[in-house]
Amino acid sequence: MATLPVADRDTREKSRFVCCQARPTLGNNTSTLFPSWVPKTILKGIRLIKQLVVNTIERYARYKIDKNLNLQYTDERKYPQPDPTKSYLLYLHIPFCKVFCPYCSFHKYNFDEKKAREYFATLRKEIRIAKERGFRFSSVYIGGGTPTILPDELASTIDLVRELFDIDELSCEADPDISDALIDLLKERVDRLSVGIQSLDDKRLEQTKRCNKFGTADEQVENIKKLIANFKIVNCDLIFNFPDQTAEELREDIQKLKALSPQQISMYPLMYSPSVRKEIETNMGAVQNKKEYALYKVILDELGSDYVQNSCWAFSKKGITLIDEYVVDHVEYLGLGSGAFGFIDGTLYINTFALDEYKQRVDSNQFSTARHKSYSPKEILSYRLMVDMFGFGFSVENLADRYGAHAKKKLAIELFLLKLFKITDKNYQLTTFGKYIFLILMKEFYIGMDYVRETSREGIDRFGFLKK
């Protein structure tokens, strides 16, 4: 089986360097945090120190994440046999979109109905392979691309998963192109529908090329109302820190969404992966992070009273259990479908991105893993520390229970630094500054994942097939 070429190191260095041009700065509003009698030079000093901490952490994270996401290509390494005592999370990927948004570097190809139907059929075969191998799942996350692109195929796939496994919760991503027929088909099948709104400002929807696709902000408001009336849990994604976005514009976006009262809101910082940076700059303007922290504080301020914060970027109404991104909530997950990630038994796997290769593998009764990397116990521990902190699930008391008797000792330096730089308080609860730091870390992690996607797509055409 042909494997895809490993990325040329120079190209990688160059593209990562481009990404490093926009360093976050903390803006000039530190003064609002302190009484007016605190001398300006002290405020300036505090700002500079915080800036230095942010820059150092970001550089270090970028270095570590790059190193740790250097997945090897392989024909050999397949998902291991499941542990019969465990129930894993199942992630399913649907890599098709009708039109691409300029900021998005997720794994997707141009939609072609025939190919997409064939893909769904192959995915269902792969789900059956997982069942035959003995995997058990109680949670499912369906992401894209656009999982709702062929509603009948999505419904059949969900029905199969529910028939084969005892599923407690199923979460599915959607774009705002949602008809009444789609709602009828999915409302009983999906427990949580996560819809990408990105903004409720017409100017922003034009800029992100979503207005033509999904309608004006007013039309989307009507859509969201219908979804809320029909689904158990609706999550709405907004993106913040668009190049020309002001604090007032962000506040308005959040207030419009809050007025609709979705059960969950996810607030993603604009992620400018090397592969989309040029598109972002052409359509939206120069990427700049000077105001990111100030905008983040607007979010905490706006959502603080009505929503509980579940992670650095996810918020839910009081009393709603959050089904969040699979990387945050689940230690181990099986990824099925082209380009899906899975993490099992200390190894990260990624499936082939080429749709023809994907079908061939599955047709010969194999999983479609194409790259993998195994991690040491210490590396896994550091990764879990990042994810637990990001998802507010860290507690020093639980360290030994969750990760073994020596976990606290192994993480001693990290835990010391968290307190030293006021990222956490003495009980390891994140400060506002700490939440922002972990938002940056997770953003870097996603940008790193995008880089893996970008290199995995080399040699594949826009419909997902290996170039001849």
Ligand X SMILES: C[S@@+](CC[C@H](N)C(=O)[O-])C[C@H]1O[C@@H](n2cnc3c(N)ncnc32)[C@H](O)[C@@H]1O
Cβ atoms of 185 and 150 within 8 Å: the answer is no
Question: Measured between alpha carbons, how far is 399 from 452 in angstroms, rounded to an integer?
Answer: 30
Question: Which of the choices ligand X, ligand SF4, none does residue 270 contact, using the CB cut-off of 5 to 8 A by kind?
Answer: ligand X
HEC states along 342-391? EEECCEEEEECCCHHHHHHHHHCCCCCEEEEEECCHHHHHHHHHHHHHHC
Choose the one of ligand X, ligand SF4, none that binds residue 100, judging by a C-beta under 5 to 8 angstroms depending on kind: ligand SF4
Residue closer to ligand X by CB (options 53, 439) is 439
Of 24, 27, 82, 145, the one binding ligand SF4 (CB under 6 A) is 145
Question: Which amino acid is it at 198?
Answer: Q
Nearer Cβ to ligand X, position 6 or 185?
185
Residue closer to ligand X, measured from CB, 103 or 349: 103
Q: Which residue has the tokens 């929807």?
A: 205
Give whole-number Cα distances, 338 to 34, 69, 140, 326, in Å: 51, 18, 16, 17
Least gap, CB of 40 to ligand SF4 (angstroms): 43
Query: Which partner in ligand X, ligand SF4, none is near 58 (CB below 5 to 8 A by kind)?
Result: none
Closest distance to ligand SF4 from the beta carbon of 120 (Å)? 17
Site for ligand SF4 in 96-115 (CB under 6 A): 97, 100-101, 104, 106, 108
What minimum distance in Å lies between the beta carbon of 97 and ligand SF4? 3
Q: Which residues bind ligand X (CB under 6 A)?
A: 103-104, 106, 144, 146, 173, 175, 196, 198, 237, 239, 268, 270-271
- Closest contact distance (angstroms) between CB of 198 and ligand SF4 is 7
> Quick check: 87 and 136 in contact, CB under 8 A?
yes
Decide: is 146 part of the binding site for ligand SF4 (CB under 6 A): yes
Taking a C-beta distance cutoff of 8 angstroms, is the pair 231, 199 a contact? no
154-183: which residues touch ligand SF4 (CB under 6 A)?
175
Q: Which is nearer to ligand SF4, 30 or 207 (CB)?
A: 207
Q: Please report how close the Cβ of residue 244 comes to ligand X at its closest, in angstroms.
A: 16
Q: 269: buried, middle or exposed (CB in 10 Å: 19+, 13-18, 0-12)? A: buried
Is 196 among the residues that bind ligand SF4 (CB under 6 A)?
yes
The listed partner (ligand SF4, ligand X, none) that binds 237, CB under 5 to 8 Å by sort, is: ligand X
CB of 387 to ligand X, least distance (A): 18
Number of chain positions touching ligand SF4 (CB under 6 A): 11
Beta bridge partners of residue 316, listed in sequence order: 264, 308
Count of CB atoms situated within 10 Å of the CB of 102: 16
Strand intervals (E) in 80-119: 88-94, 96-97, 109-110
Find the binding residues for ligand SF4 in span 431-460 (CB under 6 A).
none
CB neighbour class for 222 (10 Å; exposed up to 12, middle 13-18, buried from 19): exposed
Q: How far is the CB of 196 from ligand X (least distance, A)?
A: 2
Asked if residues 109 and 135 have their Cβ atoms less than 8 Å apart, the reply is: no
24, 82, 144, 274: residue in contact with ligand SF4 (rule CB under 6 A): 144
Q: Could you give the C-alpha distances from 9 to 58, 262, 455, in angstroms and in order? A: 21, 44, 11
CB of 313 to ligand X, least distance (A): 9
Of ligand X, ligand SF4, none, which one does residue 271 interact with (CB within 5 to 8 Å by kind)?
A: ligand X
What residue ranges bind ligand SF4 (CB under 6 A)?
Answer: 97, 100-101, 104, 106, 108, 144-146, 175, 196
